[in-house]
Structure formats: structure tokens, C-alpha cells
Structure 1
């Protein structure tokens, strides 16, 4: 199906699109419903996978099964960005969601019929991780194709609300499904939730990208990489790459995309800021928080209150952006939110009790949610649409591939030096992200489109 097919691409005047706020746009709402259903299905899937793995093997074997998906996702993420750009994000998201759904339902049927052990669970995790390597870059590139650039901040807020909803609802639903019918029922439920997203995505209309929607960086011709290479990508409707495209191979596409990011005056420092922020954030707010709660005697309930505070703050930031729609002086706000969040992360290790810790966690969630959403909006609006999948792939690889490495390092460091020094060090790393933003003139002065 080509970009000119009416069911796929709807040419829309810029003024008409801009006049419709994203939270009132039926097209955006269908995309949001599909995204939320898919993410909720993911949450149920991970509950089912962990339960089935524990029931079928030893704790060590279960840990291996749960980690199997991480390797292909990290290794193939950049290639997934190339695929998203060449075929179009809508087509890739629909196809990958369909594969995820079919695989999960197949394992559910297998578990209903027999007890095959760990091997189908490991295979499922492997397939899921491989498909995620394609799915995540395409998901990140899709919002720019369903709304105008001026609505992308609001869309990032709406996406954050969808993620929060999936996290809050998916866990209890997965646990309930396991309690009612075991892992097979939970897998079936996860597959059905993911299946809901497919027809919704099919109904989403992809807008054509006007020439002036393309970012023209210094030394960059529209539609070209920073080094002068043509940046190839799928057409606006997710069609096939055009014959005779100047970039002939996926490997060349990848090199062009990486060069484009490296030479971009906003995207290059933004990627560094994202990397530093995630490295400083992931360890303390995952492993570190558990060890802090144990050290202070807060128990599981106390840790739950702290996590609840963080979730409430992040949800509030997403709601603020979804309603407001635009943040002036986005570069400055992102930098100061990152710096403020870093101070709050360091302070979390020294608060006297659970109530104060929950309040600090709420502040961390609010500031981290604000800076994260602004990072996403700037990625969407600064990147040339022709290579947005590759840009998203690099950002996703930093967040999902490299940043989790800080968790075992944080645990080991806390065991050696205690929570206070490690939280302060992590806060300093996170704060460096804000320093990078303030030091990069073009990023510091970056604005979101109206």
C-alpha cells in the first residue's frame, strides 16, 4: 500500500491540523489507545513470563529467561531504527505488534495443552526482544506522523499518561490473570490486549510531511544528512523505500543516521544529556531504592509509598504537558528540571522517614517526567523526519541498553560504601546532563514549535 492510498495517508493543511489540539484529535486518541493497550499487554506479559519461568525451573533459570530478551534488543536496536525509516513507522509498528501478539498467544495455547518446560518461554523472550528492537524505534517515530509539530509536546504528555496507566493497571491485571487461570491465562490476556492495538493502529491516519516540517540544521539540506548524504526513509504513509534511492544499503543508512546525529548541533548534546541523566537515574530509583528501604527499615510498604510518590509526580508532569501543550524556553526548562531532579535524588538518601521520602520521590518524578518529556519532544521536532527512526533507536539504546548497566554497579557500590555516597554520586552524574544542556548553546536555546 503506497503513501497515496486514502486509508493510509490523509493530506492535511498545516493550519487545519494545528487548530486541533492533540487531546481532542480522534486520530491521536486512536493512536494513544493503541499504544496504551500494547503497553498494558506488555506489563501483563512480563508478569506471566516471570511466573511461568519460576514455576518451570530454578530461580537462576528464571532469571536467565527474563534476561534473554535484553541481548537481541540491544544488539538490533540500531538496525530497527533503519527499518523504521525505510518502511515507515506505522507499517513497522503494526507488523511488530501483530508478531508479538501471535507469539504470546501461541505460547499461551502451548501452556494450555501441555507443560513444555522452559524452552518455549526462552524462545518467547528471544522473539519478544528481537521484535522490540524494531518496535521501539518505530513507536518513537510515529507521533510525528499523526499530529503537527506544534502538538508534539502535548502528545509526549499523553504518551506519559499512557505509560503510567499501563504500569499501574498492568501489574494487578497480570496478577489477577495468573491467580485465576495460571500463566497460560495471563499470556492469553496479554496477547488479547496487544491484539486490540492492531486494528486501532490500522485506523490511524498518517499525515503527509510538508517540506517545511523538515529540520534544516546548519550545513544540512532538507532531506539530507549533516555530511551531505541523502537521508533515506519510508514515505509519509509508511510505504516502501523509493527505487533509485541514493542510499542503497541498510548499513549505509545506519552510518548516515549516526553521522547526522553526531554533527547535529541540538541532537548530539541532547543524546549525551539523555545518557548521563539515565545513568544517574536508573540505579538509585531501582536497586538503590530497595536497598535504601531495607537499610532504613521501611519495609515493602514503605518502599511502595516511595514508588507511589515517584509515579504520582511523573503522572502529574505528563498531565501538565498534555493539558498545557507547550513549554516556552524548552531547553532551559529541561536543564533546570534535570538539575533539580539530581539534587532531589541525592537528598533521597538522607530524608528522615517514609513520608518525607515519598515527598522527595514525588518531586523527583515531577522533574524527571518533565525533563524526559521535553527530551522526547525536542527529539521529535529537531530530527529530520526521514531519520527519526534512527534517532529514536539511538535514544532507546542509551536508555534501555546502557543505562540498566548502572543497576548492578549501584548495588555493588552500596554494598561497599553505603547508600548516601552512591546516591550523591548518581545525582552528580544525573546533574551533568543538565550541565551539558546549559553548555550547548543551540540546545540551551532550543524552542518547541507553536
Structure 2
């Protein structure tokens, strides 16, 4: 069956272009997303604490990184599943599995002290489910609102992410302090559980079929016969759908350069703003509090960008704005290594957060509006794989390069890589001229 035949809506969303911040359907989705993301933040606090308490620092590091492998290996397949089953159904199922898994580990920790193995299994399960969950989450906004409201929804989503990051950490720490890792896991499971009934109540827009869907139906329609034949046909059809999605991205005049711009922007951004910032603070003698101020400046800038988009709702000349925001953010990243004191660094970090948040939200909105509905899960999977699978590889490379050459050259190099993303946007005529729908 195809994506359009398996994602029949329970109730069709209103045709009227209701502002997203006044749309009860969008607000229910946003509440579900916020609860799930806050639960994720609490979960990671609980997992890191439990792993440190149950093993050596090296073992704890392994447990924390276990989820990355299945997430990276299975992400593209998760995009196929999201397109075939529908993002709403996949997100509901994923959140239910995540909730039950976390609660099971919480119960196990309440009853006994099993060591590291259940934590490793939990991390492995979370990474596997995330490979399906993340593409579906990225494809869902286009199903809960109109095209003209997607920029505002991206801003609201950014605010939810910032809220979850700010609130989730203290809540997780408080839960650990009160009842240990078991209580923190139970609290994380409860927060994730809140999202499930909210998602069930969300109405899904019916989206039109397209050529990609018709292409997939030609293959999937022939999957009949015995059990082994059906299994082989299902695998073959899924592989075909994946190849169709990748070919679709490669040939698309906007999505192809957009994916390259996202990859370059993330590769140049992740290293300096994670491990690089820690090493810079240590080199300058700012200490942990100084690094906190710089991170706070970045968070405030990113939150301000999300708030701007949520309030304004649309940005004219989106392709141009995205390119210049990316270039300006690159310059600010390079400047971060040369500021004289922590106050100036916090100000520059605020500018980085503002420009990076703006360009990132516009990337997401263009991705949502340019992709054909039947391929949106696969398109989101590729973008997520670039951001969450490949970009983090720059962190150990940045650390090693800073050790060899110092912070200045590495930050400048990272800024140049990030700036290439803006150059790609300006060089691709269709992407440069891309507009968001009104």
C-alpha cells in the first residue's frame, strides 16, 4: 500500500488558513511534541547518571553512545516507514514504545541493581526507535497545518525545543536528587506518555497523491502470494521506495542543493559550538560559569529567532535570507575565537544563535514546502541523517585539530565550511529564489 492510502485522516483539517498559534490542532501537536522532547531531556539525564553510577566513566561513555549506531544505520529506512504508514501513526507508535521501554527500566531499577546491561539495551532501543521517530516527527508538521503556516510552525517547534532543553535538565536533575535514576526514568516515561493521547487527538490533513506515490504503487501492488514471496516483495518494495526517494532528492532543483547547504552548515557549526567552545573557555580561563554564559547567549539568540518566526509567520525572499543568515552566522563563529572577554563572547554567541536559528528554521520550512507529500518522510530522514549522523563526526576532529593548531585556526576553518553552505544557496538559482507559500 502507498503512503497516501495508509495515511487516511481520521478527520480532515479545516481548509481555512487559521494562524498556527490560534489553531487548536497545531497547539495539541505542539503540546505533544514539547512533552516528548522534555521527556527526552529527562531521559538523557537519567541515563547518564545511572551509567556513571553503575560503571566506569569509559563504560558510561559507551552506554551513552550506543544509540548513535542504529540511529545512523536505520534512519533512511525509517523515512520509508514514515512515508508508507504515515507520520502520525509512526510517531504515536514510537512514543508508546519509548514510554514502555523507559518505564520498564525504571521498574527494574526500583526492584534491583542490574548493572549496565539494561541501560545499554535501553540506549540501543531508543536509538532504533529514533531512526523511525525522527523522520516521522519532521514530516508531521505538513500534515497538521496549511503550507502557509509552516514557517510559523517551525518557529513554534524551535521554541518547544528550547523550552525542553531549558526545563528538562533541571527537572531531570531534581528527579535524580529526589528518587535516583529510577525516579528520573519513571518521570521521563510519564512525560513521553502525555504525548500519546494528544497525538491521537490531532487531525491530519489529507494530502494529494503525486508521481512518486504512483511510482511506488506499481511495485507495491504486485506484492502478493506466499509468505516468503510477500516478505521478499516487501523488502524489495522498501528498497525500491528508498531508491526512489534518494533519486527524487538528487534530481530536485531545490532540495538537492538544500541538502548540501544543510550538511555544510552543520559540519561547520557542530564542532565549534560543542567541544570547541569547551576548549576555548578552558584556554581563555573563563571557567564553567563563563562557558555557561556563552551557551546562554547562544540559546537566547536561537530562541529569539524561533520567536520571531512564530510571531511573523512568513519571511519574504526566504532563499536569500537563509543564505545571508548562514554567511553572517559563519562570520560570527569565526569571530568567537578572537573576542577579548566572556561578555563579548556571550554577545557574539547570541548573534550566532540568532542567525543559525533563523537559517535552520528557514531550511526546515523550505524542506517541508518543497518536498512532495509522499516523499516527505524520506526527505526528512536524509536531512536528519546529515545533521545527527554525519555532523557529530566533526566533534572529535575539531578537538584533535584544536589540540594541534589552537582554537583560532579551527574556528576560522569551521566558519569557512559553514559559510560554504550560504555560498551553495546563492549559487543554486532555484534555491536562492525559493519562496515560502503565503
- TM superposition score normalised by structure 2: 0.93
Deviation at 1:239, TM superposition (A): 22
Question: Relative to 1, partners in 2 of residues 1:235 and 1:92: Cα closer, same or farther, differing over 3 Å?
Answer: farther
Look up the SS of the partner of 1:448 in the other structure: coil
Question: Relative to 1, partners in 2 of residues 1:233 and 1:373: Cα closer, same or farther, differing over 3 Å?
Answer: farther
Question: Relative to 1, partners in 2 of residues 1:14 and 1:216: Cα closer, same or farther, differing over 3 Å?
Answer: farther
Question: Relative to 1, partners in 2 of residues 1:29 and 1:12: Cα closer, same or farther, differing over 3 Å?
Answer: same
Question: Relative to 1, partners in 2 of residues 1:64 and 1:137: Cα closer, same or farther, differing over 3 Å?
Answer: same
Question: Relative to 1, partners in 2 of residues 1:239 and 1:291: Cα closer, same or farther, differing over 3 Å?
Answer: farther
Look up the SS of the partner of 2:234 in the other structure: coil
Question: Relative to 1, partners in 2 of residues 1:182 and 1:268: Cα closer, same or farther, differing over 3 Å?
Answer: same
Look up the SS of the partner of 1:244 in the other structure: helix
Question: Relative to 1, partners in 2 of residues 1:87 and 1:181: Cα closer, same or farther, differing over 3 Å?
Answer: same
Deviation at 1:292, TM superposition (A): 0.3
1:417-442 deviations in whole A, cap 9, x for unaligned?
00000000000000000000000000
Take 1:237 and 1:203, find their aligned partners in 2: how far apart are those partners?
37
Take 1:370 and 1:358, find their aligned partners in 2: how far apart are those partners?
18
Question: Relative to 1, partners in 2 of residues 1:106 and 1:241: Cα closer, same or farther, differing over 3 Å?
Answer: farther
Structure 2 contact 41–172 (Cα < 8 Å) conserved: yes
Question: Relative to 1, partners in 2 of residues 1:234 and 1:157: Cα closer, same or farther, differing over 3 Å?
Answer: farther
Deviation at 1:236, TM superposition (A): 24
Structure 2 contact 50–181 (Cα < 8 Å) conserved: yes
1:220-263 deviations in whole A, cap 9, x for unaligned?
xxxxxxxx997989999999999999996100000000000000
Deviation at 1:19, TM superposition (A): 3.0
Take 2:228 and 2:20, find their aligned partners in 1: how far apart are those partners?
28
Deviation at 1:307, TM superposition (A): 0.3
Deviation at 1:212, TM superposition (A): 9.4
2:396 to 408, 428, 431: 408
Alignment of 1:264-275 (within 5 A): 264-275=252-263
Deviation at 1:361, TM superposition (A): 0.3
1:22-53 deviations in whole A, cap 9, x for unaligned?
01000000000000000000000000000000
1:198 aligns with: 196
1:69-97 deviations in whole A, cap 9, x for unaligned?
00000000000000000000000000000
More helix by share: 2
Look up the SS of the partner of 2:332 in the other structure: helix
Q: Is there any run of 5+ residues in structure 2 with no aligned partner, and where?
A: none
Structure 2 contact 13–144 (Cα < 8 Å) conserved: no
Take 2:105 and 2:289, find their aligned partners in 1: how far apart are those partners?
34
Question: Relative to 1, partners in 2 of residues 1:373 and 1:437: Cα closer, same or farther, differing over 3 Å?
Answer: same
Look up the SS of the partner of 1:20 in the other structure: coil
Question: Relative to 1, partners in 2 of residues 1:403 and 1:445: Cα closer, same or farther, differing over 3 Å?
Answer: same
Structure 1 contact 335–437 (Cα < 8 Å) conserved: yes
Aligned length: 438
4+ residue segments displaced more than 2 Å:
1-5, 8-19, 210-217, 228-248
2:211 aligns with: 213
Structure 2 contact 296–346 (Cα < 8 Å) conserved: yes
Structure 2 contact 17–148 (Cα < 8 Å) conserved: no
Structure 1 contact 341–363 (Cα < 8 Å) conserved: yes
Structure 1 contact 86–234 (Cα < 8 Å) conserved: no
Take 1:31 and 1:116, find their aligned partners in 2: how far apart are those partners?
37
Structure 1 contact 87–240 (Cα < 8 Å) conserved: no
Q: Is there any run of 5+ residues in structure 1 with no aligned partner, and where?
A: 218-227
Deviation at 1:195, TM superposition (A): 0.2
Structure 2 contact 220–237 (Cα < 8 Å) conserved: no
Deviation at 1:17, TM superposition (A): 3.5
Take 2:421 and 2:16, find their aligned partners in 1: how far apart are those partners?
32
Deviation at 1:208, TM superposition (A): 1.1
Take 2:418 and 2:279, find their aligned partners in 1: how far apart are those partners?
20
Deviation at 1:136, TM superposition (A): 0.1
Deviation at 1:64, TM superposition (A): 0.4
Question: Relative to 1, partners in 2 of residues 1:210 and 1:120: Cα closer, same or farther, differing over 3 Å?
Answer: same
Deviation at 1:207, TM superposition (A): 1.2
Question: Relative to 1, partners in 2 of residues 1:245 and 1:75: Cα closer, same or farther, differing over 3 Å?
Answer: closer
Deviation at 1:127, TM superposition (A): 0.2
Question: Relative to 1, partners in 2 of residues 1:173 and 1:240: Cα closer, same or farther, differing over 3 Å?
Answer: farther
Structure 1 contact 104–191 (Cα < 8 Å) conserved: yes
Structure 2 contact 255–371 (Cα < 8 Å) conserved: yes
Question: Relative to 1, partners in 2 of residues 1:241 and 1:50: Cα closer, same or farther, differing over 3 Å?
Answer: farther
The answer to whether structure 1 residue 72 and structure 2 residue 60 are counterparts is: no
Take 1:386 and 1:171, find their aligned partners in 2: how far apart are those partners?
36
Root-mean-square deviation (Å): 4.0
Look up the SS of the partner of 1:326 in the other structure: coil
Question: Relative to 1, partners in 2 of residues 1:68 and 1:233: Cα closer, same or farther, differing over 3 Å?
Answer: farther
